[in-house]
């Protein structure tokens, strides 16, 4: 429903934190919403893993169910299965699984 309203021009939309956020079209409210999102999701930051990396994490989690999140992060770092340092952090793994 929200995407239809956006396509019809009734809502503004931005992508933040890997998800679309729908905003008001009213200028003062839109500006405030954008400022809030900019503070909550600074450019270059990410709280979740990309789909390809999430799949690798899921496969390894299935292969090694005995590992906790910290151990799984360490294992993935050792295997170099992740393209960036944030990928193998325990907190990002928790949000994926």
Paired with 17 in beta bridges are none
Segments making up each domain of the chain, as ranges: 2-40, 51-96
Q: Given this model, what pLDDT does residue 36 score? A: 93
Cβ–Cβ < 8 Å for 69, 49: no
Q: What is the pLDDT along the chain (97 residues), one digit of tens a residue?
A: 999 999 999 999 998 877 899 999 999 999 999 999 998 888 766 656 678 888 888 898 899 899 888 888 888 888 864 444 444 455 555 555 5
38 vs 70: CA distance, rounded Å = 29
């Amino acid at each position: 429903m929200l995407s239809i309203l956006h396509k019809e021009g009734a809502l503004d939309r931005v992508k933040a934190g890997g998800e679309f956020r729908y905003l008001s079209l009213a200028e003062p409210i839109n500006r405030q919403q954008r400022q809030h999102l900019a503070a909550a999701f600074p450019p270059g930051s990410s709280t979740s893993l990309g789909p390809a990396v999430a799949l690798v994490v899921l496969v390894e989690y299935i292969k090694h169910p005995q590992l906790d999140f910290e151990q799984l992060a360490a294992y993935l770092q050792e295997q170099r299965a992740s393209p960036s340092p944030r990928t193998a952090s325990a907190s990002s793994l928790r949000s994926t699984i």
